[in-house]
Amino acid sequence: MSDRIPFAGDPEDSHEAIMRATFCALQEYGYAGLSIQRIADEADLSKSTFYHHFDGKEDLLLSFQEFMLAQFDRIVQLESTGDPEQDLKTFLGLILDDLPDYGEMPEKDAVLRSLVELRAQAVHNAEFREKYAETDEQFAKRFEGLIRDGIEQGEFADVDPERTSQMLLTILHGAILQHATRDDDPAVEIRETIDEYIEQHLVVEDVAGDA
C-alpha cells in the first residue's frame, strides 16, 4: 500500500524485509561490511530465502536503489500540501533537514552517508551507473511535475521545467555529497540557499498584493 509510513510497522513481505535490512546494515556496517549473512540476520530470514529473491549483492543493491526512491515517494505523498512552492521545499527538506519522525526512521547523517557510499560504487560498476541514470531521471520527474503544476497555477515563472528540475537535482546531489563527506554540517546553509534559489528563480512575485 503506497500510503503506508516507510519503515513503520512490520514489513509487508520478505522482499520488503530484505530491503529494510539492507538499509539498516548499510548504515551499521558500511558498504565494505555489507554481507548477505548480515542482511539475512537483520531481516530474520535464512540465506536461502534471500537467494530466492536475489542473485547476490549486486542484484540486491540494484533493487535497493528503486526501493529508496519508492520510500521517498511515500514520504513526499504523506507530506504533500498541494502547494507547489511548499511541496518543492518540503521535498528538498526531506533530504537536507532532519527526517520526519516516523518512528523507526534512522538519523539523517547516517542515511546520507550510506547513500553516498553506495552511489560511489557506481564509479566501478556499469550496471549501477545505468540504474542511477534511471532513478535520477525518475527523481527529476518529481521536481518537474511540481514545477509544471506551479507554472500552470501561475505561482511559478515560465521557466524550462526540465532544465530547472535538473538544476535542483544537481544541487541536491551536491548538498548530499558535501554533507556526507565534510565535518562542518553544510546542509543547513545550503538549504537556505536553495530556498532562495526557488524564491528568486521560480516564484512569481505577487505584484498585485494579496487582493
Nearest to 117 by CA among 23, 39, 42: 23
Q: The C-alpha cell of 129 is what?
A: 551507473
Which span (15-23, 36-44, 75-83, 168-176) binds a second copy, by CB under 8 A?
A: 168-176
Window 24-63: contact mask with a second copy (x via CB under 8 A) = ------x---------------------------------
Residue 199: how many other CB atoms lie within 10 Å? 12
Interface with a second copy in residues 189-208 (CB under 8 A): 189-190, 192-193, 196-197, 200-201
- Which residue among 2, 3, 9, 124 contacts a second copy (CB under 8 A)? 124
Give the residue from 96, 79, 58, 81 showing the smallest Cα distance to 177: 96
Query: By CB under 8 A, is residue 166 in contact with a second copy?
Result: yes
146 vs 202, which CB is nearer to a second copy? 202
Distance CA(53)–CA(43), nearest Å, equals 13
- Per CB under 8 A, the list member of 130, 152, 199, 206 interacting with a second copy is 130
Half-sphere exposure at residue 137, Cβ-oriented, CA atoms within 13 angstroms? 6
User: Which chain residues interact with a second copy by CB under 8 A?
Assistant: 30, 113-114, 116-117, 119-120, 122-124, 126, 128-130, 132-133, 136, 163, 166-167, 169-178, 180-184, 186, 189-190, 192-193, 196-197, 200-201
